[in-house]
Every structure is written in structure tokens, then in C-alpha cells.
Amino acid sequence: MGNLAVNLGGLAMKNPVTVASGTFAAGREYHDFFDVSQLGAVTTKGVSLHGWEGNASPRIAETPSGMLNSIGLQNPGVEHLKECDLPWLADVGATTIVNVSGHSFDEYVQVIEALEEAPVDAYEVNISCPNVDAGGMTIGCKTASVEEVVRRCREATARPLIVKLTPNVTDITEIARAAESAGADAISLINTLLGMAIDARRRRPVLARGVGGLSGPAVKPVALRMVWECHNAVSVPLLGMGGICTGEDAVEFMLAGATAVAVGTANFMNPCAAIEVVRGIEAYCDEQRVDNVTELIGALTW
Ligand code: DOR
């Protein structure tokens, strides 16, 4: 069997697979189906300083081309994560990435400061949620605000700092470069693509908020394109995600330039999706005689 270990900007992962934040909670429910410590890492749902209720319902819509959500970063706050989820993840031996959210630059920093003594292996700074009016994508669409928030988070921790980007921009490479220059150790892409669903009979939007983030296989070509563009634009490693359901999907992201991948929407359909992606990468490496999975990173040929 080939070596599956990768290093994502200082985060050692036993294999290149994590889960997309918000699709796996902290992993407890999934642990009934498989040992979550067998993943390269568990990425937890975005956490803010205090609990947030999120947006009004309905805030999930299934469309023929993917899932739309407008959750709005509902979460119980960082103290709950510290008391309940992080000790559990440490107990089961999981490598843990905490997705960090905030309404303001200060709040991102405060969340990181609150977690510095907790068992966390890396932070993923979420500047790409399309469903909040302050924070999220409002910060992640402009190079100046990307630089400021990443610089401030960088000053707050020596732990690996992954920055998660939004696809809802014209030039993803300029945003990626801004994150890299401000001190990001790795870049995640992509968060969800802003979209809308309409109920023709009722003549109204399906989601209470009107718009939401599209995820699932429909966004995979967009995500692959952005991973490939960023692989050619920055030197930091990339965490690719968007519609990954199988080992072969994951390999496509690695060939485009991702060092690691995250399984997102597929977790809702199949609770074993993430571990099946690990096994699928293993099978691909065996079949293709790949001794070390890192050989695949950016190995696209023309
Ligand atoms: O699509 C998303 N939904 N992306 C995020 O970053 C957060 C989530 C939410 O809670 O709205």
C-alpha cells in the first residue's frame, strides 16, 4: 500500500482527507459508522465567540443540481466546543481542524485566543460564508480585508492557519495571494457558490433569506478550476473541496494541485462518504502504482 501521509502547511495528516466544515458537526454522529480518527483530520463546524442562532427557516433546499443552504453559521459558541467537542475528539485520537468564524476582525482573533490552550491541531479561518451580513464572505471578497483578518489571526497563533476562500469573486488568485502574503499556511477552496431556488407555484424564493450557498457535484468543475488556478499562483498548499464523493474525485483535486481534500455534501447522503474517499484514494494508488500520494499533487499532464 502506498504512503498516504501529507503535510498541509504544518499540519501532519495520516491521509489527505478531511471533511468540509459544517457537514460533519464535530464527528460524533459519524463515529457510529466509522472511526473518525482514521480521517486525515476532522474539521468542525464554524465557531464564533458566543452562540449564534443562524438565519430563519427554511434554510436548506435540495435542488436537482445540488444543495442550497443559508444556515448563517448557527453554532453554540466557542466555550461549548471547548467543553464538549474538543475533549471528545482528542479522546478518540482525531486530528482536529477548527473552523473559526466572526462578525468582526476582533471576533476572529478572540475565538483563536480562546482556543489556544485547547487540543486543536490547526485553524481554518472562514472568510467565505455567503450567509451572514457581517464577517464571512463580506471580508473574503476584498484583498484589503483578507489581508487584515489573516494578518491579525496570524499574530494570534503559531498553529497552522488555513484560510477558506469563497468562489464568489472574479479573480480567486488575487484573493489567494493576499491570504498567502498575510501569513496563511494553507488555503481551502471552495466554500459554497451563491445561488437561489424559486418555488414557481408560490412565486417565492424557497429559502427564507432568498439566496444561499450551492454545494455538491454541481460545483466540482468550478472548484477544480479554482484549485488549479491557485496552484499556479501561490506556494502554500491547498485544501480542495467541492462535490467530492469518491476517491477518484479526490485524485482529480490532487492532480489540479490540492495537497489535501475535504468531503462535504456527500456526508449528508452517505455517512461513510469520507472514509470511502480514503479507501478510494488507496485503491487508486495501488492500481496506478503510486508509492507516495504526494506524487499526485499538481501532476496534471497535457
Ligand atoms: O455555505 C456555507 N454555509 N458556508 C459557510 O461557510 C457556512 C455555512 C452557514 O452556516 O451558513
CA dist., res. 237 & res. 172, Å (int): 15
Residue 6 alpha carbon to ligand 1 centre in Å: 26
Cβ proximity of 161 and 154 under 8 Å? yes
- Give the position, in ligand 1's atom list, of the atom nearest the Cα of 55: 11
Length of the chain: 302
Q: Report helix angle 105-115 to 143-156, nearest 10.
A: 20
Per-residue pLDDT of the chain (302 residues; tens, 9 = 90+): 789 999 999 999 999 999 999 999 999 999 999 999 999 999 999 999 999 999 999 999 999 999 999 999 999 999 999 999 999 999 999 999 999 999 999 999 999 999 999 999 999 999 999 999 999 999 999 999 999 999 999 999 999 999 999 999 999 999 999 999 999 999 999 999 999 999 999 999 999 999 999 999 999 999 999 999 999 999 999 999 999 999 999 999 999 999 999 999 999 999 999 999 999 999 999 999 999 999 999 999 98
pLDDT at 258: 99
CA dist., res. 99 & res. 162, Å (int): 9
Dihedral angle over CA of 158, 12, 178, 130, nearest 10: -100
- Give the position, in ligand 1's atom list, of the atom nearest the Cα of 132: 11
Q: Does the beta carbon of 71 sit less than 6 angstroms from any atom of ligand 1?
A: yes
CA dist., res. 259 & res. 183, Å (int): 18
Q: Does the beta carbon of 67 sit less than 6 angstroms from any atom of ligand 1?
A: no
Cβ proximity of 184 and 150 under 8 Å? yes
Q: Which cell goes with 167?
A: 468562489
- Which stretches of the chain are DSSP H helices? 28-31, 78-80, 86-92, 105-115, 137-140, 143-156, 172-181, 220-231, 247-256, 266-269, 273-287
SS3 251: helix
ipTM over 0.95: yes
- Give the position, in ligand 1's atom list, of the atom nearest the Cα of 74: 10
* DSSP bridge partners of 187: 163, 238
Q: Does the beta carbon of 72 sit less than 6 angstroms from any atom of ligand 1?
A: yes
CB neighbour list of residue 176: distance below 8 Å, 6 or more residues apart: 165, 187, 189, 230, 233, 234
CA dist., res. 45 & res. 224, Å (int): 23
Residue 213 alpha carbon to ligand 1 centre in Å: 7
Residue 154 alpha carbon to ligand 1 centre in Å: 23
Closest residue to atom 7 of ligand 1, CA basis: 129
Residue 22 alpha carbon to ligand 1 centre in Å: 7
Report, as residue numbers or ranges, the catalytic residues: 129
Closest residue to atom 10 of ligand 1, CA basis: 73
CA dist., res. 87 & res. 188, Å (int): 25
Closest residue to atom 4 of ligand 1, CA basis: 129
